[in-house]
Amino acid sequence: MKDADARALLRDLFDAALAAARPATCLAPYIDALEPPRGRTIVIGAGKASAAMARAVEDRWKHPLEGLVVTRYGYGEACERIEIVEAAHPVPDEKGIAAAGRILQRVQGHTADDLVLCLVSGGASALLAAPAPGLTLADKQAVNRALLKSGANIVEMNTVRKHLSAIKGGRLAIAAQPARVLSWLISDVPNDDPGVIGSGPTVPDRTTFADALAVLAKYRIEPPAAVRAHLEKGVAGGIEETPKPGDPRLARVETVMVATPQRSLDAAAAVARARGIEVVQLGDNLEGEARELGAAHAKLALEIKARGGKPTVILSGGETTVTVRGKGRGGRNVEYLMAEAIAAGGAPGIFGLAADTDGVDGAEDIAGGVFAPDTLQRARALGRDPQAMLEDNDGHGFFGLLGDSLVTGPTRTNVNDFRATLVVP
């Protein structure tokens, strides 16, 4: 298989994964099956896919509706009945706070005959930024930045976020009572835990204020004084906990997973098999340090290559972490990919692609990258040391230098990271 053909195949697999998670596709059967309520339909939502989800609802739902959705800058859609607001991600801004406050107001004051349809996808934690009483935007920004650099996983980060919020961790659903609350979720988290997706604004929360303090202690994060005081007051019982499983106030709340990382991996696997490629699926919930996982997958690729046989693709999803120590441009997918390329050592017949399905790897508007057997050689010919760039957390700098960045623009969906390693014996 030629290098160009291998690269094209990897991109086709990624595109198949994206197609399976497009809101217009994955929401259609749920919209068509939904019975209109006797009262009003209020659509609210947050996340990088939420505007596209709102557009899908508008296009197929022929009954009256109204609503407000907040998404990332550049991820908006043209809607007529649902207002779309764009705000900052991954660190929240004033527009996100304003939108969250309006959403909280929008769900209140309804009757049991009304339906609140909540559209949630990855990114909602930052976009639905409503600080708890006594906290400020600056407080939330400081904690968010520290968590993003710490190496904390998404479960840990959202444990903290839920306990600094007036809207997350089920509080939005409580505010919507007595209306029926139906949440359609596009999962971007390992194991598809609805309490973690967007910090679970409409689902019960198993975590506590004590858990949030433990996360900060684990990663040696010293939060602003107001944040620590808020969490400690919660531990002491001076602030009401997030609603827990079994809370009667959540009796009329229903949650449906409309797209998941596993369904996207299965779509990519189907394309590979149709082209005569064997598939090894490692799961949709892989976590850990990006560079360590990349090295492990390179080892597996080398073992498959040594056995010979048919071309094989290794597929995986999940969300790795990066403990930032350098000053590079970052990106967990490109960090994984650079480590995999280094560990593969330029072995012939090994290619890799890693990208975030939302089109944004880290804080860059770049989805990820691609490596080939000649990647390390080309970098060194340009006078760059791949290992040194890895130590500087400069994955985007590395692949950008080689012209091997993967840029999709806004995908308007988000089912977490997609990784594919192609082995051609």
Does residue 178 have a cis peptide bond before it, meaning omega lies within 30 degrees of 0? Answer: yes
Q: What pLDDT, on the 0 to 100 scale, is given for residue 402?
A: 97
Domain boundaries, the chain: 3-17+262-423, 34-259
> Rounded CA gap, 118 and 237, in Å?
30
In one-letter notation, the amino acid at residue 422 is L
> Rounded CA gap, 49 and 56, in Å?
11
> Rounded CA gap, 377 and 354, in Å?
20
> Rounded CA gap, 48 and 66, in Å?
20
User: What is the three-state SS of the chain?
Assistant: CCHHHHHHHHHHHHHHHHHHCCHHHHCHHHHHHCCCCCCCEEEEEECCCHHHHHHHHHHHCCCCCEEEEEEECCCCCCCCCEEEEEECCCCCCHHHHHHHHHHHHHCCCCCCCCEEEEEEECCHHHHCCCECCCCCHHHHHHHHHHHHHHCCCHHHHHHHHHCCECCCCCHHHHHHCCCEEEEEEECCCHHHCCCCHHHCCCCCCCCCHHHHHHHHHHCCCCCCHHHHHHHHHHHCCCCCCCCCCCCHHHCCEEEEEEECHHHHHHHHHHHHHHCCCEEEECCCCECCEHHHHHHHHHHHHHHHHHHCCCCEEEEEEECCECCCCCCCCCCHHHHHHHHHHHHHCCCCCEEEEEEECCCCECCECCCEEEECCCHHHHHHHCCCCHHHHHHCCCHHHHHHHHCCEECCCCCCCCCCEEEEEEECC
In CATH terms, 3-17+262-423 corresponds, of 3.20.20.450, 3.30.70.260, 3.40.630.30, 3.40.1480.10, to 3.40.1480.10
pLDDT tens string for the chain (425 positions)? Answer: 899 999 999 999 999 999 999 999 999 999 999 999 999 999 999 999 999 999 999 999 999 999 999 999 999 999 999 999 999 998 999 999 999 999 999 999 999 999 999 999 999 999 999 999 999 999 999 999 999 889 899 999 999 999 999 999 999 999 999 999 999 999 999 889 999 999 999 999 999 999 999 999 999 999 999 999 999 999 999 999 999 999 999 999 999 999 999 999 999 999 999 999 999 999 999 999 999 999 999 999 999 999 999 999 999 999 999 998 999 998 999 999 999 999 999 999 999 999 999 999 987 899 999 999 999 999 999 999 999 999 999 999 999 999 999 999 999 999 999 999 999 99
- Its pTM stands at 0.90
The alpha carbon of residue 279 and the mean position of all alpha carbons in its chain are separated, in whole angstroms, by 24
Domain covering 34-259: architecture: 3-Layer(aba) Sandwich (3.40)
418 near 354, Cβ under 8 Å?
A: yes
Q: What pLDDT, on the 0 to 100 scale, is given for residue 362?
A: 84
Tokens of 268: 């990519």
Q: What pLDDT, on the 0 to 100 scale, is given for residue 166?
A: 96
Residue closest to 198 by CA, chosen among 211, 207, 189, 210:
189
> Rounded CA gap, 323 and 100, in Å?
30
Cα distances (Å, whole numbers) of residue 111 to 70, 115, 187: 24, 9, 29
